[in-house]
């Protein structure tokens, strides 16, 4: 009960307010889009920059925790593609979206507030290490698989250049990179600049949660429920279970690092799953409903995991 009161209720309460505001018309679509832009382009990058700049990086980082997380991620990604073909007779381009729906976590708008609220600032380093590689792995992979399946081959050189371009324009990646440079060089931010960024960063968590709830409210629930439910089960149940199994029994992780890896695997599907489906016109309806279902049911699954992991 303490976990529900101190972690889950505030986090999902803010998201629920955003959901209701959008559904009741208080928050218009243009307002939701503007808030999402503020979160991704300003608030979250500033939060990441200041957090990384002031982080004490230990010498003995258990890098195997990344192996555990991404082993689980690519396992359910492959299973998602197989489910698309074998269970729902979908072509490979739609299978790529299925795989992304099963594996791509909402690491920023949900992962940051939940993990930091549950485990405190000690979770900052493992949390941000996962975020640093997450989009860079799955976005080019999904786009490349869709292009290849449609017969529009893209050379490795072009894919690498596109990846570099996307990462160089991503404010979240830039925030992480700038904070890391400040940390490694020992260069501090001037007082007024630091206080300005601190004030801006305080808006990151509540605005991210409110914006996520408002964005999810725009997804209809009817249609494509069976494939969306299958992907939701993969995302919320199988993904964290595989990460925990690999991390605990194969790589002998424990404590905070294992807990963060499992919690990040248990996050609902990220909104980028729907954006990719819509952008490439591949299983966009399934993607939208997967984001919605995983966001709704993660209230229960994340609460259970927090109790089991001692968050």
**For 188-243, how does the pLDDT look when each residue is reduced to its tens digit (9 = 90+)?**
788 888 899 889 888 887 887 788 788 778 776 666 789 999 999 999 999 999 99
Q: Which domain holds residue 12?
A: 2-304
- For position 281, what pLDDT does the model report? 83
pLDDT-derived band at 166 (thresholds 50, 70, 90) equals low
Average pLDDT, the chain: 85
- For position 260, what pLDDT does the model report? 96
- For position 156, what pLDDT does the model report? 65
Looking at 169-270, list the stretches that DSSP marks H as alpha helix, in order from N- to C-terminal side.
171-185, 191-201, 204-216, 225-233, 239-245, 255-265
Residue 90 in any domain: the answer is yes
Domain count, the chain: 1
Task: Name the CA dihedral angle for 250, 295, 167, 189, rounded to a multiple of 10 degrees.
Answer: -90
Q: What is the pTM of this model?
A: 0.80
Of these ranges, 123-137, 141-155, 260-274, the one predicted with the greatest mean pLDDT is 260-274
Residue 52 in any domain: the answer is yes
Residue 310 in any domain: the answer is no
Distance of alpha carbon 225 from alpha carbon 74, whole angstroms: 24
Residue 171 in any domain: the answer is yes
Average pLDDT over residues 249-275: 92
- For position 212, what pLDDT does the model report? 74
* pLDDT exceeds cutoff 70 at 183: yes
* pLDDT exceeds cutoff 70 at 4: no
- For position 94, what pLDDT does the model report? 94
pLDDT digits (tens, 9 = 90+) for 243-261: 999 999 999 998 999 999 9
Residue 76 in any domain: the answer is yes
pLDDT digits (tens, 9 = 90+) for 32-83: 888 878 887 888 788 878 877 877 777 777 889 999 999 999 999 999 999 9
Percent of the chain with pLDDT over 90: 35
- For position 232, what pLDDT does the model report? 97
* pLDDT exceeds cutoff 70 at 31: yes
More confident residue, 28 or 164: 28
pLDDT digits (tens, 9 = 90+) for 18-29: 889 998 999 888
Percent of the chain with pLDDT over 70: 92
Residue 11 in any domain: the answer is yes
Residue 309 in any domain: the answer is no
* pLDDT exceeds cutoff 60 at 153: no
Residue 111 in any domain: the answer is yes
> In CATH, what number is assigned to the domain containing residue 126?
1.20.1530.20
pLDDT digits (tens, 9 = 90+) for 89-126: 999 999 999 999 999 999 987 898 889 888 988 898 89
């Amino acid at each position: 009960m303490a976990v529900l009161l101190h972690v889950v209720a505030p986090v999902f309460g803010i998201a629920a307010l955003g959901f209701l505001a959008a559904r009741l018309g208080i928050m218009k679509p243009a307002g939701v889009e503007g808030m999402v832009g503020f979160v991704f382009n300003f608030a979250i990058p500033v939060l990441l920059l200041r957090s990384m700049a002031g982080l004490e990086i230990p010498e003995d980082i258990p890098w195997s925790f990344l192996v555990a997380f991404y082993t689980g991620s690519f396992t359910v990604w492959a299973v998602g593609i197989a489910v698309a073909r074998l269970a729902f007779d979908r072509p490979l381009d739609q299978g790529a979206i299925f795989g992304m729906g099963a594996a791509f976590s909402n690491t920023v708008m949900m992962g940051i507030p939940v993990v930091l609220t549950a485990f405190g600032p000690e979770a900052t380093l493992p949390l941000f290490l996962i975020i640093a590689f997450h989009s860079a792995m799955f976005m080019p992979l999904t786009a490349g698989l869709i292009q290849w399946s449609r017969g529009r081959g893209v050379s490795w050189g072009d894919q690498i250049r596109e990846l570099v371009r996307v990462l160089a324009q991503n404010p979240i990646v830039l925030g992480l990179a700038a904070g890391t440079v400040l940390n490694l060089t020992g260069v501090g931010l001037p007082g007024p600049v630091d206080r300005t960024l601190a004030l801006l960063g305080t808006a990151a968590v509540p605005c991210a949660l409110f914006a996520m709830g408002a964005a999810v409210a725009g997804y209809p629930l009817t249609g494509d429920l069976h494939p969306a439910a299958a992907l939701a089960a993969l995302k919320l149940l199988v993904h964290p279970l595989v990460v925990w199994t690999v991390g605990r029994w194969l790589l002998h992780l424990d404590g905070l690092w294992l807990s963060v890896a499992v919690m990040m695997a248990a996050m609902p599907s990220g909104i980028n799953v729907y954006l990719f489906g819509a952008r490439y016109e591949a299983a966009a309806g399934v993607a939208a409903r997967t984001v919605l279902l995983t966001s709704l049911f993660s209230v229960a699954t994340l609460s259970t995991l927090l109790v089991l992991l001692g968050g």
